[in-house]
Structure 1
């Protein structure tokens, strides 16, 4: 097929986030045998005016997307977030190409009002909406005219390349990379965790006054860690988790995560380490920093599950089979979250 993929891509950031989901979905679609044209909608908007403003480039961006579809005549228009793309543009594209499928994927929180408004603004033109959140928050976008479906966070073997389970002498015992968002409960959890990890070499980036790291620096740091924490902005939402989980587990890092509702669909107890609270987290970190063999065994199983089940080729194949109403070619663990 021919696919136009409307995503961030962030070309103007010079590869700073080359491990983003945009690229993983792009590569998965290509590996499945399709032509994928990258339409970097935010960069297009910024380059459409001398001030580099997304807001002032909205009109030209929508016109260029229509012209792109006119030139390529894609079978599928796949969008990521696409907050700058209007419903009128999608209707114009469908009018021009009646047989086209239009789908959207989303990885940000589905409880934020501005995200909800953006998604609703596109729904009348969508055949299907995908999100890395399941349950009721996903089902709120179900209309009689469309489908909604869960997708897991995606790894890619060309991006998640480390195998830390093979290495004993890693220099970082415990790693967390992520913003604290100035949210009191999240900050409190991270502060207490940091203060109680005095018995090991812990590193925190993007929070507690520490800067974020990107690009090679981020991936290089992942390659030095024994244990990594995946901690979400909310931990009570069905199947919702940060993409950190695949960046950690996919690099062979022993991954710690709160017990997210329904998460056992994706990871078994022997593939990641679930914890209940700070007390439980600290006790388990102490255990696994002193038992390196068990750390490596569980990290290996988590790495294997991540690369076997949540790789870009398999997840995008699921997306395409759902979009085109084809029989599923694999027993996708999350198939029950299609509505």
Structure 2
């Protein structure tokens, strides 16, 4: 049995607003095993980035609070740790690639210095050792003329080059888990493909696990081992990539897949499929299933009671009342209670 590297259980994170405490993630549960790639997918505003910031405990600096749940990394609960303790984990054992590479880099330091800083801080490398390793890391992520580039500032490099520098910083200490939050959003299509290919190559070479956050189901299909679909702060379906793409169960997942051009029953070159409506504000969620205002299969029960997680396969779960009467399906969690159906 594969060993769990990261186990998140019932994670609830939120922010205090003028209208009171708003949950940005609601009872999130995911597992990542060693060497595995888990893709967290969903529309903007679904809570994906908040989930990643919570795992890194950076949500504390963004005005958020972890209200409940556990974040166990190799059996150690990160949610219970103080920030001083997290400094030895963050950037060392768990690293993160942020959405915008230009804002993630310090404009007044050379890129080589920014890579070397992580090595000095976490690996106790001397100045010369750290600088040499910084150049090696630039070579590792495919930056030509690494010795020259190491002396340049972020504004002297393209967006694609800066993203590779951010990846080099994240990989400096050979983390066991890499969290990549929309790592290709700001890049053009050809560079996106290069960055994804680079991440997958480095994953194999270094043996690390990856939590990849994306809104693109096509990207998830290419790189994921497992997929968790997130909507309005909750995970509505998760399973292996094969289960999600061959047997999608939640209407939201089906809608995301149908929006992919060329997908069976989905968008064509002439007409793009769209999911009707918009994602609700986290401070104004509908009663019952949070997807019910947009769902083509909505029932009265959907508007009244939130479904639990129906297990429809070995690793496949869905949060949808359509599976209430399916044989040999179990449900847990949600306001619907814990029952066998």
TM surpasses 0.5: no
Decide which structure has greater strand share. 2
* TM-score, with structure 1 as normaliser: 0.29
* TM-score, with structure 2 as normaliser: 0.29
Decide which structure has greater helix share. 1
